[in-house]
């Protein structure tokens, strides 16, 4: 046994040194939707006060994972990037962006809990927020959502919006860029539509 001990130590030492050299796993790269588009480049109508309800998403999107689909392999399977994350779940990213864009245009966005009586309530359900690959080197960001406006308990109007934007690179960074563009386009379309409704 005494003779085996040095041999075992000699065999284990490289493994132990390698594990120490590797260290803890690297922190994931974090992404958000970036800075707001310039108000001069994307002029939007100013909205009267609107209450914004919590954004709804499917259960699998209710986390900070960044998802993509391989349309050329299995479009029914959303896959998460291993080492990339959103800074917050997509529902919160879109809610933050929506309120910021409304305010940027001179409108008023209120949390649903603070909405005064008679203020319309906007509810949004996000159906898709993924990077979709049509080929290994070609992808786009896709955002689809459904907006419903209520006055009291009465449904005033409802409409679906979908936007797509090409990714500049076939990776998580390219997907984040494309999803930011697609989100801004879908949000802008939603605000323009809201401006056509009798919200006052």
Task: Give the model's pLDDT for residue 18.
Answer: 42
Is 200 inside a domain boundary? no
Residue 77's domain spans which residues?
4-195
| Residues with pLDDT less than 70, the chain | 1-25, 41, 114-117
Is 98 inside a domain boundary? yes
Task: Give the model's pLDDT for residue 39.
Answer: 72
CA distance 57 to 129: 9
Is 17 inside a domain boundary? yes
Task: Give the model's pLDDT for residue 15.
Answer: 42
Q: Which helix (H) or strand (E) holds 71?
A: none
Number of domains making up the chain? 1
CA distance 136 to 184: 25
Beta-carbon contacts of residue 193 (< 8 Å; ≥ 6 apart): 147, 159, 161
Task: Give the model's pLDDT for residue 25.
Answer: 64
Is 63 inside a domain boundary? yes
Beta-bridged to residue 149, according to DSSP, are 122, 157
Task: Give the model's pLDDT for residue 24.
Answer: 60
Task: Give the model's pLDDT for residue 115.
Answer: 56
Is 131 inside a domain boundary? yes
Task: Give the model's pLDDT for residue 41.
Answer: 66
Task: Give the model's pLDDT for residue 23.
Answer: 52
Summary mean pLDDT of the chain: 87
Is 164 inside a domain boundary? yes
Is 173 inside a domain boundary? yes
Helix and strand element counts for the chain (H, E): 3, 8
Number of Cβ within a 10 Å radius of residue 91: 20
Is 155 inside a domain boundary? yes
Q: Which helix (H) or strand (E) holds 101?
A: helix 90-104
Are the beta carbons of 44 and 115 closer than 8 angstroms?
Answer: no
CATH code where residue 31 lies: 3.40.50.10610
What is the bridge-based pairing of β-strands 65-70 and 138-151? unpaired
């Amino acid at each position: 046994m005494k003779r085996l001990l040095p041999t075992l130590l000699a065999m284990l030492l490289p493994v132990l040194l390698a594990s120490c050299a590797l260290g803890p796993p690297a922190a994931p790269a974090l992404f958000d939707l970036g800075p707001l588009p310039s108000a001069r480049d994307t002029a939007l109508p100013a909205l009267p006060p609107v209450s914004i309800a919590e954004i709804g998403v499917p259960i699998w999107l209710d986390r900070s994972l960044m998802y993509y689909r391989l349309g050329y392999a299995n479009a029914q399977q959303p896959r998460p990037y291993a080492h990339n994350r959103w800074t917050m779940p997509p529902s919160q990213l879109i809610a933050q962006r929506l309120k910021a864009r409304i305010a940027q245009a001179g409108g008023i966005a209120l949390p649903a809990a603070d909405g005064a009586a008679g203020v319309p309530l906007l509810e949004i359900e996000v159906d898709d927020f993924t990077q979709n690959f049509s080929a290994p080197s070609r992808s786009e960001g896709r955002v689809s959502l459904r907006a419903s406006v209520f006055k009291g308990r009465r449904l005033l109007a409802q409409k679906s919006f979908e936007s797509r934007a090409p990714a500049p690179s076939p990776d998580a960074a390219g997907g984040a860029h494309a999803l930011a563009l697609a989100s801004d386009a879908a949000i802008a379309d939603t605000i323009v539509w809201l401006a056509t409704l009798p919200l006052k």
